[in-house]
């Protein structure tokens, strides 16, 4: 952390702004966490396991599908911050309207269900347009020698902020005067407030200018035609993308850990907050470790380590004999949720030529597309063969991802 403390003032300002952005985002986002709170809300609204999986998949589709187009839109721009702020505003501000709709008309459960789907897809889709410019700003403004610790600090600080979410969720869901669905409407309001504060932190970023590009006016078709050559000529990119593809496909069981634990052990709804706390603590405790590992041993070695750990949750869920043991499962899920993102982002930034960095970032995120089908496939598997079959499928795919990560060449 000493290297961060001695960085130039503009770098420190951006570090504080970006970490603040993510901290507020996670505090709000965790109030409707997609692996714990959201599945329970959807189930109470009458959604089947297949529909819960389909909704989760659609959220991921609108998040990752636009990535190549976004890379084209920001390629060659001197600054991408205006694009980033606009994308965030389009998706985040309407969440306050969703709160009003659920509060006033939530007793119409079908209406509430589809209103939530529509507004959450708008939010996630707008965030899909923000990923590339946001990561490009990190690549431009955070020196590579402290990037691992920056990501680790961001994971820890934002996860500590998100620790407030389980307490808020538990309190709101336990207030008897707040009957369903108004209790969840309050959680949506808290989410919208956190997202707004996150966007305000983005306004504080001082973005460096991008050096002039050789072909800033290339068309989208020309942009797409460059991608196969990048794939062929850069083995590091190729194997990072392959690993990302497999890890994304390993999300078959992602929406069903909390439902499985509750059904298997007959747990009350309050356990959702307990598991959310464990998930957040897992992210808090592992942030410094992964950050140090990336700066000490390199981004690729850190990625290999994190990917290898991803096989633990599905196997642990299968053999865990007691309800409290699932605290460890969710702690591991929390650590992986952040650390996988950090590891892949740091790895792609470490191998990307500056002129092609938006394209590399977009491709790395585009390879999350299997995650759009994974939850739906998981829902089908759960309906036909039960939860254990979904966990075994996840474990098999993630194991292939760990083997793929071993093929990523090291760069010095």
Domain range annotation of the chain = 2-206+219-405
Q: Are 54 and 382 in contact (CB under 8 A)?
A: no
Q: At 67, give phi and psi (nearest 5°).
A: -55, -50
Q: Are 342 and 155 in contact (CB under 8 A)?
A: yes
pLDDT in 10s for each residue of the chain, 412 residues: 555 655 678 899 999 999 999 999 989 998 998 877 898 899 899 888 778 878 877 888 899 889 999 999 998 888 999 999 999 999 999 999 999 999 999 889 999 999 999 999 999 999 999 999 999 999 999 998 899 999 989 988 888 887 788 788 889 998 989 999 999 999 999 999 999 999 999 999 999 887 666 666 778 888 888 899 999 999 999 999 999 999 887 788 877 888 888 888 877 766 777 887 888 788 888 888 888 888 889 899 999 999 998 999 999 988 888 877 888 888 888 888 778 888 999 999 999 998 889 999 999 988 887 777 787 788 889 888 988 999 999 999 999 999 999 999 986 5
* 3-state SS, residue 176: coil
CA 297 to chain centre: 24
Q: Are 327 and 334 in contact (CB under 8 A)?
A: no
Distances (CA, A) of 354 to 140, 206, 210, 252: 8, 18, 9, 34
* Among the listed residues 165, 155, 130, the one whose alpha carbon sits nearest the alpha carbon of residue 29: 165
Question: What CATH number was assigned to the domain covering residues 2-206+219-405?
Answer: 1.20.1250.20
Buried/exposed 142-168: b ≥16 CB within 10 Å, e otherwise:
beeebbbbbbbbbbbbbbbbbbbbbeb
Upstream peptide bond of 181 is cis (omega within 30 degrees of 0): yes
User: Whole-prediction pTM value?
Assistant: 0.83
Instruction: Give 375's contacts (C-beta < 8 A, 6+ positions apart).
Output: 52, 53, 54, 56, 57, 60, 251, 252, 254, 255
């Amino acid at each position: 952390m000493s290297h961060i403390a001695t960085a130039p003032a503009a770098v420190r300002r951006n570090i504080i702004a970006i970490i603040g952005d993510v901290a507020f985002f996670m505090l709000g986002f965790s109030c409707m966490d997609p692996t714990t709170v959201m599945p329970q809300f959807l189930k109470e609204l009458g959604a089947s396991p297949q529909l819960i999986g389909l909704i989760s998949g659609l959220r991921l589709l609108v998040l990752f599908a636009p990535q190549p187009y976004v890379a084209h839109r920001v390629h060659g721009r001197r600054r991408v911050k205006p694009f980033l702020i606009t994308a965030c505003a389009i998706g985040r501000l309407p969440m306050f309207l969703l709160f009003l709709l659920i509060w006033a008309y939530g007793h119409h459960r079908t209406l509430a269900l589809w209103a939530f789907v529509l507004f959450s897809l708008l939010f996630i889709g707008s965030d899909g347009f923000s990923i590339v410019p946001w990561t490009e700003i990190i690549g431009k403004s955070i020196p590579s020698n402290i990037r691992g610790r920056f990501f680790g600090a961001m994971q820890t600080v934002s996860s500590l902020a998100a620790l407030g979410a389980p307490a808020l969720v538990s309190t709101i869901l336990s207030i008897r005067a707040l009957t369903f669905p108004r209790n969840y409407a309050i959680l949506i309001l808290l989410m919208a407030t956190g997202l707004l504060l996150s966007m305000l932190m983005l306004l504080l970023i001082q973005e460096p200018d991008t050096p002039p590009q050789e072909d800033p006016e290339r068309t989208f078709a020309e942009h797409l035609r460059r991608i196969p050559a990048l794939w062929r000529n850069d083995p590091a990119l190729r194997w990072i993308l392959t690993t990302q593809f497999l890890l994304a496909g390993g999300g078959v069981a992602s929406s069903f850990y909390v439902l499985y634990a509750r059904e298997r052990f007959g747990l009350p709804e309050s356990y959702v907050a307990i598991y959310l706390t464990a998930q957040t603590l897992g992210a808090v405790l592992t942030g410094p470790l992964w950050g140090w590992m990336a700066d000490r041993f390199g981004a690729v070695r850190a990625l290999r380590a994190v990917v290898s750990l991803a096989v633990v949750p599905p196997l642990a869920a299968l053999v865990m004999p007691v309800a409290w043991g699932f605290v460890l499962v969710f702690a591991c899920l929390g650590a992986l949720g952040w650390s996988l993102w950090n590891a892949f982002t740091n790895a792609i930034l470490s191998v990307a030529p500056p002129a092609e960095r938006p394209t590399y970032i977009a491709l790395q995120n585009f390879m999350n597309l299997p995650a759009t089908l994974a939850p739906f496939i998981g829902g089908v598997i759960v309906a036909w063969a039960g939860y254990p079959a979904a966990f075994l499928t996840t474990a098999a795919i993630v194991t292939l991802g760990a083997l793929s990560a071993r093929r990523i060449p090291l760069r010095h």
